[in-house]
Structure 1
């Protein structure tokens, strides 16, 4: 994808590493609550990067044997470039978001698993506003 900025096409999106950590509480056999934080490790000084830097999600988990479905709101930190004729700087702000995920474990008591997530944020920038969608495939180890 890309945007046109002052007559030049700038690339957006792309692949990035996104380490995450979470803290959860299993309140019933069928459900859990979890706080998840994920940080994007792209180069914050490169103008081409527009989007979410940090994701903070509060998730409700629904446990179905070897599958856990998760859904919840998120408050993300974003960066958008602001450019004039001779210089550029970054606008940072908070973006409302929604997080949806599913984790599959080999067995309910297993510490290992695989997770797929989709995270959608609305970025309300001054120079650029829009929707940011990220999808991730993750390996999971539970302590």
Structure 2
């Protein structure tokens, strides 16, 4: 992920700043965004993605942008603790990856949150890929079948 200040407008003591974001993935996917920062609020003004993003992917993108702006602006907007975040976290393949997907899925169920969103957040992948990872964990016997077949 790269973050570049685009421009800034100052009025008295306050400033409004725009930042350009680019996320490039190894598989060729790319996301470009423009965000506006005023005081402690962030507004994403424009997003261009190839391939297109789902609404769930946009929510993950918003969290990345918020953390990146918090890093760039110091203690500025967001709830980040100053820790950087890569565009897509490293996720192990094979058996270890399936085991971690199952752990994330079960933890979300225990906390009453959406397990698919939890896997998406942990892996950095979109909904389709996360569902594929969950299916692999089910096939490996780490999660129960989705529903009883009739």
Bin of the TM-score, shorter chain as denominator length: 0.3 to 0.5
Greater per-residue strand proportion: 1
TM-score normalised by the chain length of structure 2? 0.33
Greater per-residue helix proportion: 2
